[in-house]
Chains A and B, each alone.
Chain A
Amino acid sequence: MSNTDALIEIRNLSKTFPGVKALDSVNFTLRKGEVHGLMGENGAGKSTLIKVLTGLYQRDGGEILLESKPFHASRPQEANNAGISTLYQEVNLIPDLSVAENIYIGREPKKFGRIDWKKIYQDAENDIRKLDLDIDVTEPVSSYSMAIQQLIAIIRALNLSARVLILDEPTSSLDLAEVKQLFKVIRKLKNDGIGILFVTHFLDQVYEITDRITVLRNGKFIGEYETAKLPRLELIAHMLGKNLDEFTLEQQKELKTKKKASDSDDFLRVENLQKKGAMNPFSLEIRRGEVMGLAGLLGSGRTETARLLFGIDKHSGGSLFLDGHEIAISSPKKAIDQNFAFCPEDRKVEGLITELSVRENIILALQARTGVLKPLSPKQQEELADKYIELLQIKTPSRNQSVKNLSGGNQQKVIIARWLATDPVFLILDEPTRGIDVGAKSEIEKLILQLRDEGMAILFISSELEEVVTCSDKIAVLRDRNIIGELNGEEMEVGNIMRVIAEKEAVQ
């Protein structure tokens, strides 16, 4: 079926990695002026498809047509030149260079053979104005937040006179207002006839912005659907390959088992903990067998709170009490000595050592505590690794597989396993479900509740309010580096959280 307004046509695309068929005869068509959602669980082949398209990977079979002509990119540069721009999940900018230069590097305007800096700064200024951004384009990119950096990356992509724009989870680090801003731009581009390939895990966003959805599963093409005619549950069913009713039932059952009031005494009490410039004084109480959720917008201080509790950042005031006794958490080592555990937000940077195997990553924290002089025997290590691979259902060919070959959701599980191996009494989970698929997500949510029922105290951070509500026994709401409210029991609703955030905003 040839389509005249097709920008990209992919037919029978295949790509094999050692041991994995990442793409197996996949079809995909991107038309002019459409936003096309590419959906699938982890390991579905979304990233591989994008990487083949942009020249980071070479295909093993099949063909790609760009405006009806055979297309092959052996390097990202070639894809760029052909008008295919890509924005990845992680911001890919040069941190030390200025905003303006990041937008124009590689195609700087020249005057008399030399780079015309005046024009670069002026043009960049105009570009950011178009997106209603107010930032200094002469400042290095590293001085701005992730969200702003993402927008700068978008401006860069737009500026590459792209006909095809690939957005690979561009919204994972943006707050609601920023997502809106992005969508405004996407709609404008769509009207200009640009084809946009949009990958995200946020269902709401898919339904808000896409015209068509292609679903992949385990490297196979499942189908192409018109968004308006595809009910949400059906989409999820296609992605998971699960029976629809079974899936919803499971979800509901899960909801039922939660919210059991814990009546034990306070386990961890925080009084006026603060760090100048990072977090204003806050107080918290967490009991054993309780999940405390932290909800708030991007930059509200959720991660800062976690980092203070784990001693990564030194607090400048306030105190912590464990079972009524004051304790000093001045370094992560001290926190680990108290049997605290922390799964950080950015698993690649702060958590996993991706070159090491699943087994080595799992035993890492436990080994660190017992000390280098008392190594765990190979047998112990293997048992531990197997136990948690089994318990958390980590999908890996073997315990000796390098972590870098695992999908995002499974990498996250490896980190959780590492800390569970230390038998923590207090577990901090910072965005454990970020960037992972629906199935892995509900598994991790289930695991949180299971750990709670076993008596662990858990601090749970997520930017998805629904998820915070589902998993928490009480919720602290943050805004602008303050804890501005706490919700319990029946009050815990997405609407209430938003109201708390909004109310306070109105006061100021």
Chain B
Amino acid sequence: MKLLQIKRKNIPFLATISVFFLIYLAGSLMYDNFFSLRVFVNLFIDNAFIGVLAVSMTFVIISGGIDLSVGSVVALVGVLSAKLMQDYGVHPMLAFALCLALGALIGSVMGALIHFFELPPFLVTLVGMFLARGLAFLISLNSIPIKHPFVDKIIDFGIPLGFRTWLPVIAIIFLVIVMVGIYLQQFTRFGRNTYAIGSSEQSAILMGLPIGRTKVLIYTFSGTMSALAGIVYSLYTCSGYPLACVGLELDVIAAVVIGGTLLTGGAGLVQGSLIGVLILGLIQTFITFQGTLSSWWTKIVIGVLLFCFILIQRYLSLAGNRES
């Protein structure tokens, strides 16, 4: 009985991992070179910015909220940092620091609005989404290329993995953020309070948990991570573009849900979101290897997968209710 129940709790996560291995296995069997270190490492490079966002989005969704502003903040940060570096000669480190501060500010303001005015996260972050996108266009209407010796140095840096493969900075950032996320989630009160709010906010209030502080922190974290993802995206594309990452927030939400996090809040794991991001990446890689399919097939496959995961979650929560 006990074994069964623990399994039930872990089914979404186990399902995520199984799907990942299934796709990976299928790809490896069908295409040469699919099963190679380089393709695997590329997953972490190409999806680094989504990965960083998925970590913070996991916290937001577990708390029962949503953050729609992330894609726009990525674009805003990209344009802002490029503008600062190229037009004003600001040192990249300072530019990045300013961007992180801006992200934190946007996030904390949204968090404060959500908590103190009891506004729905969907609306508040929708406002944030439009605002950040608008600001990005205000800074520049066109793409700004980033050319700076220091930035080049960052991009060129990497940890050698053998087989002539390197783990570049943006992949390192992705992995570090995942680890930070897991730590925050499992070993800090902030992380545990996030679950409490999402599972039963009323109870959490009566249990004397710091709801307000936690909520503001969650969105501040999300804003900061959006800015970091923006920096990662700039390093990845070497430019800032105000139209970048339109609809990215939905990809991130999809990754998190495929990773086993309940959209209704209260349950989920950062590890799951990591796998969710890698699954999205794998599907993309798969379609690239296939060659003849248009890249829109990625969306179709993600849609189908998402649908399956929602069904699994629904079934599990129904089964859970029946049991108690």
Which A residues are within 8 Å of any B CB, using their own CB?
Answer: 56, 75-77, 79-81, 86, 88, 92-97, 101, 105-106, 108, 114-115, 117, 136, 139-140, 142-145, 156, 277
| Bound CA–CA A143/B6 (angstroms) | 11
Complex Cα gap A261–B267 (Å): 55
Give the chain B neighbours of A75 by CB distance below 8 A. 208
Residues B2 and A76 in contact, CB atoms below 8 Å apart: no
Residue of chain B at shortest CB distance from A114: B187
B199:A106 contact, CB within 8 angstroms: no
Contact call A93/B203, Cβ cutoff below 8 A: yes
Q: Of B189, B199, B266, which is within 8 A of A108 by CB?
A: B189
B205 within 8 A of A: yes
In this assembly, does B323 line the interface, its C-beta being within 8 Å of a C-beta of chain A? Answer: yes
Chain A residues near B5: list those with CB within 8 A: 139, 143
Chain B hits for A79, CB < 8 A: 208
Taken together as a complex, chains A and B put the C-alpha atoms of A139 and B4 apart, in Å, by 11
Q: Chain B nearest CB: distance from A9 CB in Å?
A: 23
Among residues of B, the one whose C-beta sits closest to the C-beta of A145 is: B324
Expressed in whole angstroms, the Cα–Cα distance for A277 and B319 within the complex equals: 12
Contacts of A81 on B, CB cut-off 8 Å? Answer: 208
* Contact pick for B207, options A105, A139, A277, CB 8 Å: A105
Interface residues of B in 1-42 (CB under 8 A from A): 2, 5, 9
- Are the C-beta atoms of A93 and B187 separated by less than 8 Å? no
A86-B206 in contact (CB<8A)? yes
- Residue contact B200 to A114, C-beta cutoff 8 Å: no
B152 vs chain A, min Cβ distance (A): 37
Within 8 Å by CB of B196, from A56, A77, A97, A114, lies A97
Question: How many A-B contacts at CB < 8 Å in the complex?
Answer: 80
Chain B contacts for A143, CB-based, 8 A: 5, 320, 323-324
Is B109 interfacial (CB 8 A cutoff)?
no
Q: With a CB–CB cut-off of 8 A, which chain B residues contact A94?
A: 195-196, 199-200, 203-204, 207, 266
B192 touching A101, Cβ below 8 Å: yes
Q: Which 8 A-B pairs have the closest CB atoms?
A: A114-B187, A77-B208, A96-B199, A96-B266, A80-B208, A92-B203, A92-B206, A94-B196
Determine the residue in chain B with the shortest Cβ distance to A138. B6
Assess the A92–B9 pair: CB atoms within 8 A: no
B324 touches A144 (CB 8 A): yes
Contact: B208 with A142, CB < 8 Å? no
B294 at the interface (CB under 8 A from A): no
B contact residues around A115 at 8 Å (CB): 186-189, 192
A80 to B196, CA, bound (A): 17
Candidates A76, A86, A142; contact of B320 at CB < 8 Å: A142
A313 to chain B, nearest CB (A): 9
- The answer on a CB contact under 8 Å between B202 and A97 is no
Chain A residues near B187 (CB-CB < 8 A): 114-115
Q: Which range contains the number of B residues in contact with the other chain?
A: 20 to 34
Looking across the interface, which residue of chain A has its beta carbon closest to that of B196? A94
Interface assignment of B243: CB less than 8 Å from any CB of chain A: no
Tell me if B209 is interfacial: C-beta within 8 Å of chain A.
yes
User: In the bound complex, what is the Cα–Cα distance between A156 and B200 (angstroms)?
Assistant: 16
Q: Which residues of B contact A108 (CB under 8 A)?
A: 189, 192
The answer to the question of B130 belonging to the interface, with a C-beta cut-off of 8 Å to chain A, is no
Residue of B nearest to A79 (CB): B208
Chain B neighbourhood of A142, CB < 8 A: 320, 324
Q: Nearest chain B CB to A350's CB is how many angstroms away?
A: 13
| A96 cross-chain contacts in B, Cβ below 8 A | 195, 198-199, 266-267
In the complex formed, the residue of B with least CB distance to A142 is B324
Main secondary structure on chain A at its contact with chain B? loop
* Residues on B facing A (Cβ under 8 Å): 2, 5, 9, 183, 186-189, 192-193, 195-196, 198-200, 202-210, 266-267, 320, 322-324
Contact B206 A97 (CB under 8 A): no
A residues in contact with B207, CB < 8 Å? 76, 92-94, 105-106, 156
Given contacts A96-B266, A97-B195, A145-B324, contact A76 B208 (CB under 8 A): yes
Residues in B neighbouring A139, C-beta threshold 8 A: 2, 5
Are A88 and B206 in contact, CB atoms less than 8 angstroms apart?
yes
List, sorted by A's number, 10 A–B pairs whose CB atoms are closer than 8 Å. A92-B200, A93-B203, A94-B266, A96-B195, A96-B267, A105-B189, A105-B207, A115-B186, A140-B9, A144-B324
Q: How far is the CA of A117 from the CA of B187 in the complex (A)?
A: 8
Q: Are A93 and B200 in contact, CB atoms less than 8 angstroms apart?
A: yes
Nearest chain B CB to A92's CB is how many angstroms away? 4
Q: How far is the CB of A478 from chain B (nearest CB, A)?
A: 19
Chain A, Cβ-Cβ closest to B192: A105
Which residues on the A side are within 8 Å of B204 (C-beta)?
Answer: 94
Q: How far, in Å, is B101 (CB) from chain A's closest CB?
A: 25
Closest to A75 in B: B208
B209 touches A106 (CB 8 A): yes
In whole angstroms, how far apart are the Cα atoms of A114 and B188 in the complex? 6
Known: A77-B209, A106-B208, A277-B322. 8 other contacts (CB 8 A): A77-B210, A92-B202, A94-B207, A95-B200, A96-B266, A105-B209, A106-B209, A115-B188
Give the residue name and chain of the B residue nearest to A91 (CB). B203
Residue of A nearest to B267 (CB): A96
Q: Would you give the shortest CB distance from A106 to chain B, in whole angstroms?
A: 5
B199, A95: Cβ atoms closer than 8 Å: yes
Query: Measured between C-beta atoms, what is the minimum distance from A491 to chain B in Å?
Result: 35
Contact of B193 among A86, A105, A145 (CB under 8 A): A105
Complex CA–CA separation, A101 to B194 (angstroms)? 13
Complex formed: what's the CA distance from A463 to B135 in Å?
63
How far does the alpha carbon of A92 sit from the alpha carbon of B200 in the complex, in Å?
8
The complex places the Cα of A277 from the Cα of B203 at a distance, in Å, of: 30
Contacts of B193 in A (CB 8 A): 105-106
Q: Roughly how many angstroms separate A106 CA and B209 CA in the complex, as a whole number?
A: 6
With a cutoff of 8 Å between Cβ atoms, the chain A residues found around residue B203 in the complex are 92-95
Output the least CB separation between B61 and chain A (Å): 13
Contact A97-B192, Cβ < 8 Å, known A92-B207, A106-B209, A139-B5: yes
The residue in A76, A81, A95 that gathers the most chain B C-beta atoms within 10 A of its C-beta is A95
A96 CA / B197 CA spacing, docked (Å): 10
In whole Å, how far is A115's beta carbon from the nearest beta carbon of chain B? Answer: 5
Q: How far is the CA of A402 from the CA of B199 in the complex (A)?
A: 27
Q: Which single residue of chain B is at the shortest CB-CB distance from A77?
A: B208
Measured CB to CB, the closest approach of chain B to A233, in angstroms, equals 36
Q: Which residues of A contact B198 (CB under 8 A)?
A: 96
Q: How far is the CA of A48 from the CA of B186 in the complex (A)?
A: 37
- List chain B residues, Cβ under 8 A from A277: 322
Q: Which of B2, B200, B320 has the most CB of A within 10 A?
A: B200
Distance A76 CA – B210 CA, assembled complex (angstroms): 10
Q: Which residues of A contact B188 (CB under 8 A)?
A: 114-115
